[in-house]
Each structure stands twice: as structure tokens, then as C-alpha cells.
Amino acid sequence: MDLIPKADQVVSAASNVAHKMLYGGLADLRPMPRTLIDEGTLRELYHYRPAAKVQEQGDPVLLVTPLAAPALCFDLRRGCSLVEHFVAAGRPTYLVEYGEVSFKDRALGMEHWIDEVIPTAIRETSMHAGGRPVHLIGWSLGGIFSLLTAADQPDLPIASVTAVGSPFDVSLVPLVAPLRPLLNIAPGRGITRTYQALGGAPKPLVKWAFQLSSFQKMVTKPLAVATHLDDTEFLAQIEAVDRFTANMIAYPGRTFGQLYHRFVKGNALVGGSIDFGDRTISVADIKAPVLVFGGATDGIAPIPAVKAVVPLLSSSEEVRFEVVPGGHLGMLTGRSARTSTWRVMDEWISQWSSDAEDEPTPEAAVKKVPAKKAPAKKAAPRKSTASGASAASKNGVPATKATPAKKAAAKKTAKKSSPDAIGSNPSRRYGSGGSRALTR
């Protein structure tokens, strides 16, 4: 709102306040419909139901939630939901979440997610989608778990891995950097005994830590709300984020201990590998293509902390790094994510899909299921053109199916020649001048 509000701003503000008082809020918080297709210990795999009059096609995406955060991160609210975006475009969409963590789960470590939860979810997703390879998309710790899983089990049907706001150099995280000297000096027994006694990190502590990372926004929130009373979208987004924060989940005891000692205190991932028992998992072993996102204003996982993984992915078929607008959550489901993060994801998934001809396009979000056509009349033979197999088949000439190698080569050539290809378009609307091709 202006310092001296205009008449239309006053009307909009009054309408928003009245709507909130009468109906309890402005945000459309309806969850996208989904079906549970597999479950196990702290593992629930869901398939999101296709939108009305939209046919599912293309390779599936599997959304991997981080520990302690609810699956609302991918389905924040209508209009700012990555799930809704994929479903509307006809993309087979799946999500793995972990349910409520209780005291009985205190002995579970990170190995449980890397060895059992995520690999099983990948296999079940691929099977449910007709045997297609799976595009993993993990946010925060979910991205780290996805990368470690891909490195540890290269035989999994993984088409690509996308890590959103996943810090690999924790020393560059603002909340941790000032404490590192103290952590290295102190024995940490008090902290260890506390989380062992509690069975992990309880919900209130997790919620407080997330809010602390956005302390400045918490302090200025009342002023921001007061100055945006006429902005329905702004107020709806705040409501959705508040609901997300209120639904934080506890950390299992042993997992919290590993995160504290190895990640926070030891910065174990800065070298790209981590030990679990008698084995070492190294992200240098990942063969699948990897896309990495850093948030321009991310206070939890700032750009340098996230970009640290890029040079470690030495065996990956292709690695891309993109800077997008927003903080830790905003880069994933903020209002600007629609035209930045999601667009890049669409391009990336299409580029690395098993069959480009079967890929949905964002523009076809309202695409209807094709109706059966009447038998076509036989046309007189015409001279074949360079338009390819589709033109030949229309004219009654048997089409020669292109080999997978030729199709892949043609697909990559088309991507390179496009001015909008990932990593080659300096004119994106968001500031990502530092996220172009990795060779620079």
C-alpha cells in the first residue's frame, strides 16, 4: 500500500480483512488429491491423482521431503504448489514423506533413508509409472539424501537428480559459522545427552530453529502485513508459510546426532563423501545428470554453501547450477518460483527424459485426453519430405523408427540451439548471472 492509500487500495484492504475475519484466511490450502501406494517404517509413498481431463504422460517425478519438514513444502497452497504445477501439466507425480517420528524411532540413523526409504520409493515409483526412470527432486536435506542415494546405488532407475537448497559446505551457513569455534572446543556431551534423552529433536525445537533462520522476517512481519493489506497474494502466502512452520516434524535421535556431529560440527560433506560403517559414499560416483538450485536470499543454505557440491560431481553426465529468487522455502514454492525454478525444472526434466515425444509441456496443462478418431481416408501418395517419420506415416509410407542414439543426439542438438536452454540464456527475468554454464 502507498503511504497515503488510494481508494482502490483501501477497498482491497477492507475486503481482505473482512474475508480473513469471516472465513479464517485468504489462502486456498486445499491439498492436491493423492493416493498411498506404498508404505514402510517412516516411509509413505503417494501418487498424486491426474487432473481432470489431463492425461498423464512422460517420466515420473519423485519429490523427496527433508527430515523434520512436512510435505507441505511441495504443496504449499493452490497457485504456489509444485505438485499442482506438475499434475496440471500431466506429469506423473509422486512424493515420499516420513510420517510422525516418535520415541521408538530414536535408533534410526541417516542410513535408514539412504538404504531403505528413498531407494524403495524410487523403485516403487518406477514400477507404478510403467517401468520408466525417475526424476528425483529433493529440497534441503531431501536433496542431500537424494544425491547420496544416487551415489550409493547406481543401479536404481534414476533419470536425473535435482537438489534444491541443499548445503554441502555447512561452514558457510550463517547460523552455524559463528558457533563452529565453540563446537570444536566444547566436548558436546551435554547436547548429546539431551537429544539421547529426548529421543531426538522435538517439534518445538525444530520449529524454533526454522523461525530463527528467518528472524529478521519474523520481526518485520507485522509491519509487512500492515503495508500489504491490499495484496491478497502476499497475505495468502504468509498464511501458507505459517501453516507449514506449524507442522514441523521431530528428528529421530540417532539421525539428529549424526547431523549434529557430522554435518554441523564436522562439516563432513564439504569433501563430497561420508562414511557409514564400513563403506564410504561419495557424490563423485553419481553418473546421472544433476541440477542444483541456490536461492538468491536463502539464509539457511546460502548460494556458496549449496554451490560447493558442483565441483564434487565429477562423474555426472551433466551438472547445472541455477540461482533463483527467494529464500529457503520461497525458491521452491514462492510466488516467483512459477516463472523461475519451475520453468528450469520443466526444461531439465524434458532434456533428460527417456522419450522426448512422450513428454508433457507446461503449455499443455489443460490438455484433454485425446478422443478416438474415425478411420482416416486413404490419401493419394505424395512425395516424402524431410519432415521425418510422422510425415511419412501420414502419407501411407511406413515410418522408420529413429534409433535411441539418434533421438538423443537430435534432442541435445535442439536444446543447444535454443536461446532458452538451461545455462545459456542470460536474459532470464531473475538474477542468475552467476549460474550459467559451469565451464565459466
Distance CA 46, CA 41 (A): 15
Look at 252-256, 272-276, 325-329 and tell me which has the smallest mean pLDDT: 252-256
Q: Are 357 and 366 in contact (CB under 8 A)?
A: no
pLDDT recorded at residue 144? 95
Look at 3-7, 260-264, 295-299, 398-402 and tell me which has the smallest mean pLDDT: 398-402
For the chain, list the domains and their CATH numbers. Answer: 31-202+250-358 (3.40.50.1820)
pLDDT band at 130 (very low <50, low <70, confident <90, very high): very high
Mean pLDDT value of segment 154-163: 97
To which H or E segment does residue 262 belong? none
Distance CA 354, CA 58 (A): 8
Spatial CA neighbour of 148 closest among 69, 73, 66:
66
Spatial CA neighbour of 73 closest among 240, 322, 305:
240
pLDDT recorded at residue 238? 83
Q: For 414-432, what is each residue's pLDDT tens digit?
A: 444 444 444 444 444 343 3
Cell of 220: 518485520
Q: Which positions ≥6 away from 180 have C-beta within 8 Å?
A: 171, 265
Mean pLDDT value of segment 219-228: 52
Report CA Rg, the chain: 24
C-alpha count within 13 angstroms, C-beta hemisphere, residue 219: 5
End-to-end CA distance of the chain, in Å? 42
**Cα pseudo-dihedral 7, 8, 9, 11, rounded to 10:** 90
pLDDT recorded at residue 262? 82
pLDDT recorded at residue 108? 82
pLDDT recorded at residue 226? 55
Q: DSSP labels for 397-436?
A: PPPPPPPHHHHHHHHHHHHHH-TTSTTT-TT-SS--GGGS
pLDDT recorded at residue 9? 57
Look at 25 and 2; give whichever has higher pLDDT: 25
What integer best gives the mean pLDDT of the chain? 75
**Top mean-pLDDT range of 90-104, 198-212, 331-345:** 331-345
pLDDT recorded at residue 101? 72
Q: Are 61 and 129 in contact (CB under 8 A)?
A: no
Mean pLDDT value of segment 263-274: 87
pLDDT recorded at residue 362? 56
How far is Cα of residue 39 from the mean position of the Cα atoms in its chain?
Answer: 21
Whether pLDDT at 361 is above 50:
yes
Burial of 273: CB neighbours in 10 Å, binned 0-12, 13-18, 19+: middle
C-alpha count within 13 angstroms, C-beta hemisphere, residue 55: 9
To which H or E segment does residue 20 belong? helix 7-23
pLDDT recorded at residue 158? 98
How far is Cα of residue 431 from the mean position of the Cα atoms in its chain?
Answer: 20
pLDDT recorded at residue 231? 65
